[in-house]
A and B are shown apart, each in its own frame.
Chain A
Amino acid sequence: MPLSVEKIEDGSVIDHITAGHGLHVLAILKIDEKYAGRVALVMNVPSKTMGKKDIVKIEGKIIDEKTADKIAVIAPHATLNIIKKGEVTSKNQVEMPSKLVGVFKCPNPKCVTTTEKIETDFEVEKRSENPNMRCAYCERTFTPEELRE
């Protein structure tokens, strides 16, 4: 029997999230127990194109470009729907940016971005399912999973 989740009036729906990464998307959006709006996370939903997918619905939150870049690293096929007054006003697939500025912390504890107050800067090296991110400062490369942690 399909799961039924009620519609939201104003907010964002992130669909086609790689299965198992819905929780990571919530973490990126900084949604925790203090968030007052309605939030739905549906995991492992059958998908024609992906086999399985996760979906996140958040009331009262419009996702900006920087956050969309972050989501693209975790879930490169995600689609972002903006809902206003119960209607979908825009629907876009997230795009893997060529650069990620000030988005993730560098996991290298010896990197200058961890010792000085500097915006991190990663170059996305491969535009594929599993891109590598190279820190512009320490020049180390990281997988999306390493950056997320």
Chain B
Amino acid sequence: MKVGDFISVRDLEKNDIDFLLDKAEATEKKMAEGCSELDGKVVATLFFEPSTRTRLSFQTAAQRLGAKVIDFGSTSGTSMVKGETFTDTIKIVDGYADLLVIRHSVEGAARYAAKVAEHPVINAGDGGNQHPTQMMLDLYTIRKLKKKIDGLNVCLVGDLKYGRVMRSLMYGLAMYKANVTLISPKGLEMDVEAVKEVKQKFNAEIIETNEMNLRDADVLYVCRIQKERFTDVYEAERVQKEFRVTKEQIDGCKKDMVILHPLPKIDEIDLAIDKSPHAKYFEQAKNGVPVRMAIISELLKKK
């Protein structure tokens, strides 16, 4: 892998992704045996924005590799409330840890942190921009379940405007020549430039629609309406109620179609679907650990 930090899918080449997916697969097979590869290393998880799965799976990944984890909890317990700048916070933690995992609501925060810090930085989500490790575990899950990525019909459904996961995933899927259909409520479409970029770069087949037609889908990837990025919360709730995946909508879809979701899911997927064989999102969340182990291990190997 050429990159020293893990900030954006746009920094990666397909070879890097293949390599990491293979490494994650090997890691998952050996996970039960335990590992002391990163014995003596310290990983800092700095979440300036709330998180459950990403934070816990990074911490689990680091600990399963034998590293210790430091974390400041929420920002309310830090010197940031006294006015300490983001820059200073990163410099301080860089002095304590061997690798920094950062989530922030500000776009480009992880890229900037990587310039400030001497140690490797992993972007665990920066505003509406990127969430590259989520994309990695999504690709990992798709490859594991469908035995390939290329040529699959993948529908990305939900808030494509504010969903950083969708932006990163569309790019990754386009790299693999998957057939991507973007399905979103009106007004929450994917950024025009982001779509144009993947079409030009990868000659990708991207269809954009507001209609929920899932008949040919091999993978249905749903994300919630990003209420926290709306100025009008009531509008966000209205859109969410109108735009959800129901059991009726998946009737008639392919038998082996899989439904993924980065979680947390609110009510964008009918609860009855959780029990259907299509629902694979809990397995997907579990895959976050071996994938993040592979990324952490690879970045620290380079140091």
Which residues in A have some Cβ–Cβ distance to B below 8 Å? 108, 110-113, 115-118, 132, 135-141
- Complex partner residue of B108 from A117, A132, A135, A141, CB under 8 angstroms: A135
Could you name 22 residue pairs across A and B whose Cβ atoms are closer than 8 Å? A110-B105, A110-B106, A110-B128, A111-B106, A111-B107, A112-B108, A112-B109, A112-B111, A115-B86, A115-B106, A116-B85, A116-B87, A117-B87, A118-B112, A136-B108, A137-B108, A138-B126, A138-B127, A139-B10, A139-B129, A140-B191, A140-B193
Contact B129 A138 (CB under 8 A): yes
The answer, yes or no, to whether B130 is at the interface (CB within 8 Å) is yes
Which residues in B have some Cβ–Cβ distance to A below 8 Å? 8, 10, 85-87, 104-109, 111-112, 126-130, 191, 193, 197
Cα separation A111 to B106 with both chains bound (whole Å): 6
Cα separation A42 to B104 with both chains bound (whole Å): 48
Residues of A within 8 A of B130 (CB): 139
What is the CB-to-nearest-CB distance from A138 to chain B, in angstroms, rounded to a whole number? 4
Cα separation A115 to B113 with both chains bound (whole Å): 13
B8, B105, B111, B191 interface centre (most CB from chain A within 10 Å): B111
Cα separation A138 to B105 with both chains bound (whole Å): 11
Residues of A within 8 A of B112 (CB): 112, 116, 118, 137
Cα separation A139 to B193 with both chains bound (whole Å): 11
* Chain A residue with Cβ nearest B87: A116
Contact B193 A113 (CB under 8 A): no
Cα separation A112 to B127 with both chains bound (whole Å): 10
Residues of B within 8 A of A111 (CB): 106-108
Contact B107 A116 (CB under 8 A): no
Q: A139 with B107: in contact, given A110-B127, A112-B112, A132-B193 (CB under 8 Å)?
A: yes
Contact A112 B107 (CB under 8 A): yes
Cα separation A96 to B264 with both chains bound (whole Å): 45
What is the CB-to-nearest-CB distance from B181 to chain A, in angstroms, rounded to a whole number? 23
Cα separation A136 to B86 with both chains bound (whole Å): 18
A110, A117, A118, A139 interface centre (most CB from chain B within 10 Å): A139
Contact A112 B106 (CB under 8 A): yes
